[in-house]
Amino acid sequence: MVETPLTRNMRADGEAPDLKAYEKAGGYQSMRRALGMAPADITNLVKQSNLRGRGGAGFPTGQKWSFVPMGSDAPHPKYLVCNADEMEPGTFKDRLLLEGDPHQLIEGMIIAAHAIQADVAYIFVRGEYVLAAARLRAAIHEAYDAHYLGKRIAGTDQTLDLHVHVSAGRYMCGEETGLLNALEGKRANPRAKPPYPQVSGLWGKPTIVQNVETLCNLPCIVERGADWFKGLSRTKNGGTKLYGASGKVRRPGLWELPMGATMREILEEHAGGMQDGVTFRGALPGGASTDFVTADHLDVPMDFDELEKVGSRLGTGTMIIMDDRTCPVGMCWNLEHFFAQESCGWCTPCWSGLRFAARTLRAMEEGHGAPGDLEALEHQAWFCAPGNTFCALAPGAVEPLQSALKYFRTDFERHITEHRCPWT
């Protein structure tokens, strides 16, 4: 049987299990076990499990924790932050975990907090996730009443206060250091690294930021062990993954599958294939800021390593499907418009380059493309490459653009030579 630890408690009616139901299903047993373990042992367990961050970058979780200063000399308070600012276009996986099983996230956070000896934790949730915030607050209230949060959790020496911060909205808040600035009540501009947040983060104190799905994996790792977790996966990256599909497929949705499921399997078996009258042309495999893949790549396992080999990224694992009735230029315009609008304006390649790219794509789509536009767009993609910008926004923003120019170049050229969008 295929195991689905992340979604095992999800109810068909969409209601979240309350504390009683969660505990009846075995909930908070992993917390008890983890609180009885030495912090370094939890970090080692997570390292051995090969859990990699599910927010998009795929950084090894246990390794991240190992950078946090530990011991009696370590600065306090230390902070744990859950990044629930799900704003990557095409991504809707954390919403399910937040709304469907909030106690699983809280339990995961208590485990992570114990591992890094955090005193205070925040869940940074986007403002539009109204139901998620309400359910989190209700679950946190229950957890405080049960002494799973607050002072001396479950009779141990671990203390943890957990707060929900509801964001006022901006894509930049999803970037780790931008999020920390937002939590401090500032504009969500990115911070220079080093110092890394693990050493100097929130209010200058050691801070770990993890995505919702990453934290939700912790209870089952503590419960079943690193080898079991690795065994869930078909590839070297451990665990299961919440995969999704949106666009003109028959059954758009989300599915918890073994890490390394192929795009073909997700698209055909789970999403039911393409809608009548359209055919598959390409996909952004993990949200708006990942490179396009095409029909040639459908049998690539969806994990952090394999998608990189074909020039893309797993990202958030939620695929955006492009069909033959959708114009690639129009789609790129939509994407670059989003990124240009959400750029915080902090560094020039991002605020200037993305705006230029969006303007050029708009002109092309409206029939005003000019010879040289494609080269200019390619130059912008280079201009925004990693190393030229403060944070990952612009490098991510140009991923779909640079790959569209590669795979759908004829379509771009037709916009210029025909002075119109062939799709309208």
Partner 1 sequence: MALSADEEREIQGEAANYPTRSALCIDAMKIVQRHRGWVSDEALRDIAGYLDMSVDELDGIATFYNLIFRKPVGRHVIMVCDSVSCWIMGAERLTQAIASRLGVAAGGTTPDERFTLLPIVCLGACDHAPVLMVDDDLHHDVDPAAVDRLLDRYP
Determine the interface stretch with partner 1 among 3-11, 51-59, 159-167, 234-242 (rule: CB under 8 A). Answer: 159-167
Contact between 246 and partner 1 per CB under 8 A: yes
Contact between 163 and partner 1 per CB under 8 A: yes
Candidate residues 17, 58, 90, 349; the one interacting with partner 1 per rule CB under 8 A: 90
Contact between 244 and partner 1 per CB under 8 A: yes
Candidate residues 30, 167, 240, 290; the one interacting with partner 1 per rule CB under 8 A: 167
User: Minimum CB separation from partner 1 for residue 364, in Å?
Assistant: 16
Contact between 169 and partner 1 per CB under 8 A: yes
Contact between 292 and partner 1 per CB under 8 A: no
Candidate residues 116, 149, 183, 266; the one interacting with partner 1 per rule CB under 8 A: 183
Contact between 184 and partner 1 per CB under 8 A: yes
Candidate residues 59, 92, 228, 351; the one interacting with partner 1 per rule CB under 8 A: 92
Contact between 171 and partner 1 per CB under 8 A: yes
Contact between 342 and partner 1 per CB under 8 A: yes
| Residue type for position 87 | M
User: Minimum CB separation from partner 1 for residue 247, in Å?
Assistant: 5
Q: Which is nearer to partner 1, 88 or 373 (CB)?
A: 88
User: Minimum CB separation from partner 1 for residue 330, in Å?
Assistant: 8
User: Minimum CB separation from partner 1 for residue 36, in Å?
Assistant: 29
Give the x-and-dash track for 305-324 against partner 1 (CB under 8 A): -------------x-xxxx-
Contact between 88 and partner 1 per CB under 8 A: yes
Phi-psi label, residue 312: left if phi above 0, alpha if psi -120 to 50, beta otherwise: beta
Q: Which is nearer to partner 1, 42 or 208 (CB)?
A: 208
Q: Which is nearer to partner 1, 262 or 343 (CB)?
A: 343
Largest CA distance in the chain: 73
Contact between 338 and partner 1 per CB under 8 A: yes
Q: What is the total count of residues that contact partner 1 (CB under 8 A)?
A: 57
Contact between 182 and partner 1 per CB under 8 A: yes
Contact between 334 and partner 1 per CB under 8 A: yes
Contact 95, 129 (CB under 8 A): yes
Contact between 331 and partner 1 per CB under 8 A: yes
C-alpha 29: how far from chain center: 27
Cis ω for the linkage preceding 395 (within 30 of 0): no
**Residue 344, C-beta contacts closer than 8 angstroms, at least 6 positions apart:** 170, 172, 178, 187, 188, 189, 190, 350, 351, 393
Q: Which is nearer to partner 1, 16 or 344 (CB)?
A: 344
Positions in the binding site for partner 1 (CB under 8 A): 77, 86-92, 94-95, 122, 126-131, 163, 165-171, 182-188, 203, 244-248, 252-254, 284, 288, 318, 320-323, 326, 330-331, 334-335, 338, 341-342, 344
